[in-house]
Structures are given as C-alpha cells and as structure tokens.
Amino acid sequence: MKSPYSTPITPSQTQIGWIGTGVMGAAMASRLLSAGYSLTIYARTPSKTLSLQSQGARLVHSPSEVAKASDVIFTMLGHPPDVRQIVLENPDSILSSITPGSVIIDHTSSLPVLAKQIYDAAREKDCWAVDAPVSGGDIGARDGKLAILAGGDEAVVKWLTPLLSLMGKPNYMGGAGCGQSCKIANQITVGGSLLGLSEGLVFAEAAGLDKAQWLEAVRGGAAGSMVMEIFGERMIGRDFRPGGFAEYMVKDLGMGLDVVEEDGEKVAVLPGAGLSKQLFSGMVANGDGKLGTQGLITVIERINGKRTPNPV
C-alpha cells in the first residue's frame, strides 16, 4: 500500500477547498479552519458562508475557482444531481479546472455508481477521488465525532487521515463507491431505529408513562442506541431543528431501494426500509421535509390521531 503522495498534509503547505456550507458542511469546514488550515470556499448561497469567512475562509464565485486554488477539495452537498453538476458536468465544475495530483473528497450521501464515475474521471485527470459520506448528525459534525465512511484508494485515504481525523473517525470501506454503499446501509439502520423510538415514545405516552422517565429507564438496556442518545430528548422536547433533513432520508432510503435500477444483480429486498421511506415521505407531504429526521415522531402521532401544532 504505497501512497502516491510523499508530502505529508500540514496546515502550512496544504491548500483546502470546501463546497457546501449547510448545517453539516459549515460545522465540518469550521473544524479545519480551527486547526489552522486555509480554506477557499464556494456556496450557491453566499450568505451561508459568513461564519466561515469570519474565521478566515476565502469566498470565491465558482467550483472551478476552488479547484484551481486547492490541493484537497471537499464537497458536502444535498443530492446526487448537485454532486454531478458541481464535480463533473458544469463548465465551471471542479474537474474542469482541477490541478493534477489533487484529491476530491465527497462527503455527500450519494449514489455508489456516481462515486465510481467521479473516481474514473478524476484518474483521467491524474487526480484521485474519495467518496466519504458521514454519520453522526450536527452534534457529531460540531464535536468532530463523525463516522467517516471512505471508499477509493486505501493509500490515498490513509494520506488524508490528518484532515479526516479532525472531523471524526475515518473508516476505509473498500474501492470507489463502497463509502456510499456503507452510508446507505447506515441510513437503513438509522431509519428503522428512528421509527422504533418514535413508536416507543407514542406508546409510552398513550400508556400514561412519563416519557422522560421511560427514556431514562430503557436507554441503558437493549433498546438503547446512539439514535436514542442523539434524538430521544429532542423528540420529547419537540426540538426538530435539523442535523439532517427528513427529505434527505427519503433520498438515502430511496437509493437503497432503487439499487436495482443501477445494478440489477445486487438488489436486496428491504421491506423495513420501504416502510421507513414511506413514513419519511409522509413528513415531506405534511410540509415538514426541512425538519430533522427526529420529526418522524410527528407522523406516528398523526396516524394515532394526535393533533399538535406544526413542529418548529
């Protein structure tokens, strides 16, 4: 496992580019700035970059400008079409102006087949690409405790460890696309856990239990999970501010359910994921797609006839 890079990554000599400054992206980029790295950033909504600019980030006007100025370019976007346009297809895309030897790291939850396309296109430019979606939500992003699920060349991922470790724990999952496949499996698991937690809370309330007391009693047993630790108290407190949008969960679960369209030989039958996707789609239909995934409890409450004010 020989790295193609002999020069180690350091704040003094490694130029970083960052594209995507939503809830997760801004928190992750902030950690790199706090570690002393210089960042060149681009966002389709420049107002979302003000906090990063106050930390010293330099705002430019296109992805190609980021590519020209950077050795390592991170993306954290919303949907696979966004990734395709920003990285591959626009006249001002990253790959239109990337410097040979640079590395693209895509943290977006996206399609495995698209990750493979980006990897191949990067290699044609004598560059590298790593698909590295993350899990851990806004708290994990803020605290640098994300699970980072990396696919691509193992030696390149190892070389990137000084950067990735500032944001969480990098886990090498295999070749190009394997990071995205890992994230889809993660979301299938998280979706089921959120559904179980939502139903447990709704049942506990209907049975006359104190919900906070119930949560405290069961969190140390077999029902306990990271999902419960992150979202249990938020559900009880009606705190539906997003770490990840509910509409993104619909996208992520859909990628697992629709894999037959991309690779018919690797399809898995996932009835639980199908149900989870329908319930998260219910959130979107109710106008709550921009709420956090913990808002799933509102769908279960509505099914049970509980009329509550619109979540905030």
- Count how many residues are written for the chain: 312
Tell me the C-alpha distance between 68 and 40, whole Å: 10
Q: Cα-flanking dihedrals φ and ψ of residue 280, to 5°?
A: -70, -35
Asked if residue 243 lies in contact with residue 139, where contact means CB atoms within 8 angstroms, the answer is: yes
Q: How far is CA 189 from CA 13, 165, 186, in A?
A: 40, 24, 5
For every residue of 222-280, DSSP letters joined together read TT--HHHHHHHHHHHTT----SSBHHHHHHHHHHHHTHHHH-GGG----HHHHHHHHHH
- DSSP classification of residue 77: -
Q: Could you give the C-alpha distances from 17 to 39, 234, 270, 284, in angstroms and in order?
A: 5, 33, 38, 33
CA distances from 253 to 19, 159, 196, 256 (A): 24, 31, 16, 5
169 is known as an active-site residue: no
Please work out, in degrees rounded to the nearest 5, the angle formed at the alpha carbon of residue 168 by the alpha carbons of 212 and 104.
Answer: 135
3-state secondary structure 122-184: HHHCCCEEEECCEECHHHHHHHCCEEEEEECCHHHHHHCHHHHCCCEEEEEEECCCHHHHHHH
Other C-beta atoms closer than 10 Å to the C-beta of 192 total 17
Of 183, 266, 277, 306, which residue is the catalytic one?
183
Cite the active site residues. 183
